[in-house]
Structures are given as C-alpha cells and as structure tokens.
Amino acid sequence: MSGRLAVLGAGAVGRSVVELAEEYDYTVTAVADSQSAAIDAKGLDPEAIFTRKDADGTVGDENPEAALDASYDVLVEATPTTLGDAEPGFAHVKAGLEHDRHVVLANKGPVAERYGDLMELVTASDGDIRFEATVGGAIPALSTIEDFGPGHITAARGVLNGTANFILTRMAAEGLDYEHVLAEAQDMGVAEADPTFDVEGTDAALKCVILANVLSQGEQEFALDDATVDGITNVPGAALDLAADDGRTVRLIGEASRDGIRVGPRLIPENSALAVSGTRNIVQLDTTHAGRLNISGRGAGGPETATAVLSDVGRLL
C-alpha cells in the first residue's frame, strides 16, 4: 500500500515518521518544521533533510506553510501539543481536511481541546482523521476501541505518562523523595527541564480527554477543563514505603468514561496489571461483553510514536 506523506513537525516523532516511511512503502513529499520546509513531489531523502537540520536548523528552502500545498495523500501533524486554541496544529489539520486529504495526528492539542471543531471539519471533507499516537504512544488503544465499537467500551483507565511513572517507580524502588528522583530523571533525559506538563498530570489528562471524546462518540464534548487533575508532586516517599508494606504501590492513574475524566495518584496492588514499571504505559479497557482488556507498551519515544502514526496511515489508505 503506497502513499505520499506530508509531515509537519521535525522533532523526535516527525523525524522518525520521515525516517521509517520508506520501510512502510510510503513516500515523503514534504517535511516542515517551524522555520522551513522541504518539498519534492518525487520523494525526499530523509538523510539529506536531517543532516541539514542538524547543521543549520532548517529542513529546506521553502516556507513552512508551503508544505500544506504539497502533493500528498496523508498529512501527518506532529508539531508540539499546545493548549487552548491548539494552534498552529489545528490550522494544519484544517488545511489538510479542506484539501480533502486524510490527516494523522501525533499532536494531542486539536483532539483534546477542539474535538467538536475537528469533527465538523471531518464531516465536510472527503478526508478522514486518525490519532492513535496521541494516547499511549505505540499502544493500540484507540484502534481497539474503534474495532470493539466505542459503545461497547464502558470505561478506559491507565498509566498514560511515562515520566510520572518512572519517578513513582524509582521512588518506590529506592526509597527516595520526589525531588531527588525528579533531578535524576532530568539528568537521564526522562524528565524535561520544566516537568510541569508531566508531573502535574496535564499530559495524562489530555489523553483521558481524547479517550472520553472517542467513547462519547460526539454526544458530549470534553476538554481539559472538564478533567479533575492531581499530579504526583505532593506524593511523599513515605507514602510509597507504607504502600509497599501492604503489597501496594502508587501510580498516576487516568480514568475516562462518558461520565467524565479524572487523573490522580492512586494506591493499587503491586501485582495489578496497572502497576507497570519505569516509562511504560498501560491502557485498560472495560468492555460490555468481553471483560477487561489490558494493553501495555512504550508510551512515548520517536520511533514508537511514529509506529502508531504509520499504522494509522495504513488504516486510512
């Protein structure tokens, strides 16, 4: 199944999509970052693009917006997630759908913050959208919900942020405090210099908003304001010690259903399926007729997230 991709965003995910595309029999005809774009209807050479980007910070000679008018079958939106109006990601998706092209998102912003607007654009377009990469990286959560039918999933919950989970896992294993483990995670590149988005639960909440929007099938629209969110910054090391004495541990659990969204640290049994370790993620789906499904895997990372993007492309073409 061949096809042409325009990739917006040249961070870890966009770069991996471009680098892996050929292995999936896709041709990349445009790549853009916030500064520049490279466009070639016959197909771009990933190595040349990223050698240039590493050298001078640009991917090509064109303006970024030019990528939206390139020849492509699927637009891949992999620019950074922004909150509120979800721009410029939303404008990119809009342009793709208005060109009657398919769009695959790795950017959570448009799906979490402007789901209704997005669905209106889809309805008016010959193109469709998919966004598996926005929830749990490589974990096939949304595809499974789609295959089962959203009406046959009563609730979704899980560990949806690898940084927070890494910190809780290390705190429990080493008996260390939050601040100490955070500094260690920052040294290792697992946590960002400003970890707010991950440790305050915002990232997990956005994923739960997306899950809730998919589960409610447009009957109700959810956004970040609808979520009740607690992070892990106030979890004392002593709480993890006490939990361990009782065969339990603490995980930052996000929960989504048609009734709402909440994210917070929860006490769970150490042998629970939800007790994944380190940066791993898990999504647990409660089904109407098939019990509970658990799907765990790598929730972030360039090639991992790109794999979800390329699976979505395959479902669309």
Q: Where do contacts with a copy of itself occur on this chain (CB under 8 A)? A: 16, 20, 23-24, 137-140, 143-144, 147-149, 152, 271, 273, 287, 289-298, 301, 303-304, 306-308, 310-311, 314-315
- Residue 207 known to be catalytic: yes
Q: Where are the beta strands (DSSP E) in the chain?
A: 3-8, 26-32, 37-39, 74-77, 102-105, 129-130, 153-159, 227-229, 248-257, 260-269, 280-287, 292-298
Closest distance to a copy of itself from the beta carbon of 282 (Å):
8
Question: Of the two residues 88 and 299, which places its CB atom closer to a copy of itself in the complex?
Answer: 299
* Residue pair 126/152 in contact by the 8 Å Cβ criterion: no
Q: How far is the CB of 136 from a copy of itself (least distance, A)?
A: 10
108 is in an annotated binding site: yes
* Stated length of the chain: 317
- State whether residue 258 is helix, strand or coil: coil
| Beta strands at 129-130 and 153-159: parallel, antiparallel or unpaired | unpaired
Q: What's the token pair of residue 316?
A: 């669309």
Rounded Cα gap, residues 264 and 227, in angstroms? 11
Query: CB of 307: closest distance to a copy of itself in angstroms?
Result: 4
Smaller CB distance to a copy of itself: residue 196 or 294?
Answer: 294
User: At a CB cut-off of 8 Å and minimum separation 6, what does 95 contact?
Assistant: 68, 75
Q: CB-wise, 154 or 294, nearer to a copy of itself? A: 294
Q: Which of 42, 53, 94, 207 is catalytic?
A: 207
| 53 known member of a binding site | no
Q: Which residues are annotated binding-site positions for L-homoserine?
A: 192
Active-site amino acid positions: 207
Annotated binding site for NADPH: 108
Annotated binding site for NADP(+): 9-14
